[in-house]
Structure 1
Amino acid sequence: MHGYTQDKDEYAARLRRIEGQVRGLAKMIDNDQYCIDVLTQISATTKALQSVALGLMDDHLKHCVSEALTEGGDTADEKVREASEAIARLVRS
């Protein structure tokens, strides 16, 4: 079981809303909307995706990483490295 499993429906709903935002962005471009308005919507969509990513990271740390730390050894080291790399990717994005 993954750390996000109990919140899976909420994450799925949020991602469907984001999918709708992206479709709306495509329509804005098709309709030659004002560039600042498009950029504003891109920013909102980006923030929504970041919110999902942070929630998943929080769930991962609370569930997967803490469980691995309890077990110790190579599994713990691997989970911490994996989480650190995911955080670095999020910071760079």
Structure 2
Amino acid sequence: MELDLEGASLKAVLNRLRRAQGQISGVIRMIEEGRDCEDVVTQLAAASRALDRAGFAIIATGLQKCVIDMEDAHRNGEDTEQMRARLEKLFLSLA
């Protein structure tokens, strides 16, 4: 399955990933500076949420594409159960 996000969707995902990247850099800096554990964990949790949201947005877009491409999958020999298993694996990778 190819990643094909349209304009606004792609921009939103990239913004979330950049935000997470900045937050992770902040966490590294905080640890290096010996900052308070609670502050570090709070920042790390924010980065984790940003990554999760980006992942879910990518999966949601992928689901749309999968529904549209379901007929192509049948033509290529992939049955409904194989498609379901592939999508389940994607969801579980973020759990």
- Structure with greater helix percent: 1
2:74 is aligned with 1:70: no
Compute the displacement of 1:76 (Å): 5.1
For residue 10 of structure 1, report the CA deviation from its aligned partner: 2.4
2:46 aligned counterpart, secondary structure:
helix
Task: Give the % identical residues.
Answer: 21
- 1:4-56 alpha-carbon deviations (Å, 9 max, x no partner): 24322222222111111111101100110110111111111111111111111
TM norm structure 1 = 0.80
* Alignment correspondent of 1:82: 86
Runs of 4+ in 1 over 3 A off after TM superposition: 75-79
Structure 2 gap ranges (5+): none
- The size of the alignment, in residue pairs, is 90
| Contact 1:68 1:75 survives alignment (8 Å) | no
- Could you tell me the TM-score, scaled by structure 2's length? 0.79
Which secondary structure does the structure 2 equivalent of 1:75 belong to?
Answer: coil
* Cα contact 1:22–1:45 (8 A) shared by 2: yes
Give the AA of the match of 2:45.
S
Which blocks of at least 5 consecutive residues in structure 1 are unaligned? none
